[in-house]
């Protein structure tokens, strides 16, 4: 199988996330996309996140009914700081015959050299770099220390283009906190879950 691994806090999940997953699935002919809610991302250790179980449940609601989407809760079960390389290694051990692809935004490339074991990440999975229409060319040179020229050209060929969607989890949390509408920014089922569980009303942004 060709499996896309899509990690993030999803705090909360919104239509921009869903469009990334579906665009990658279709353009790169993935059999499945595995959503991986992080316990504590290395770059967000100072932020207050909604409970991991609740974030995972919101993703479950968002992708419900899509046969190629599933939610993997290994990072939440493991707890602590979530490192991409650890999760990919775990999936590789369990699915040695499958081909793994890592979904990542073009804006993440600049920080890639600071991730834990970036070369190992590139060995375990093929990065799928998602670029928004009209955005600058991804910073491909970030891969240079970890890939030879042929591999780099392959990654460029696999880059994914998607429409511009100006949505963010931060803005959704701010809207909820100030009592503004979040309709049509996230699936209705997720919006109702946020309301029913009182999420983001008093949490620091």
> Any idea which residue has 């919101």 for tokens?
58
Domain boundaries, the chain: 2-166
* Per-residue pLDDT at 44: 66
* Per-residue pLDDT at 170: 94
- In which residue ranges of the chain is pLDDT below 50? 204-205
**Contacting residues for 160 by C-beta, under 8 A, at least 6 apart:** 23, 24, 27, 28, 128, 129, 130, 131
Residue range 2-166 in CATH 3.40.50.620? yes
Per-residue model confidence as pLDDT tens digits over 86-113: 999 999 999 999 999 999 999 888 899 9
* Per-residue pLDDT at 58: 98
Contact 71, 59 (CB under 8 A): yes
**Long-range contacts at 154-158 (CB < 8 A, ≥ 24 apart):** 154/126, 155/126, 155/127, 155/129, 158/28, 158/126, 158/128, 158/129
* Per-residue pLDDT at 46: 57
* Per-residue pLDDT at 134: 75
What pTM was computed for the model? 0.93
- Which residue stretches of the chain are H helix? 15-27, 52-63, 74-78, 84-94, 118-124, 149-157, 169-177, 188-197
């Amino acid at each position: 199988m060709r499996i896309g691994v899509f990690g993030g806090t999803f705090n909360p999940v919104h239509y921009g996330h869903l469009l990334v997953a579906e665009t990658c699935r279709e353009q790169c002919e993935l059999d499945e996309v595995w959503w991986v809610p992080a316990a504590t991302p290395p770059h967000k250790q100072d932020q207050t996140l909604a409970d991991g179980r609740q974030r995972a449940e919101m993703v479950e609601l968002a992708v419900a009914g899509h046969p190629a989407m599933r939610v993997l809760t290994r990072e939440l079960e493991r707890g602590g700081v979530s490192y991409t390389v650890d999760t990919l290694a775990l999936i590789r051990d369990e699915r040695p015959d499958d081909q793994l692809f890592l979904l990542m935004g073009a804006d993440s490339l600049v920080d890639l050299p600071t991730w834990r074991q970036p070369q190992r990440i590139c060995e375990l999975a093929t990065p799928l770099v998602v670029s928004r229409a009209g955005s600058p060319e991804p910073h491909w040179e970030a891969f240079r220390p970890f890939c030879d020229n042929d591999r780099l050209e392959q990654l460029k060929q696999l880059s994914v283009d998607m429409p511009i969607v100006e949505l963010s989890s931060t803005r959704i949390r701010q809207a909820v906190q100030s009592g503004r509408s979040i309709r049509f920014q996230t699936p209705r089922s997720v919006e109702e879950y946020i309301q029913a569980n009182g999420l983001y009303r008093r949490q620091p942004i």
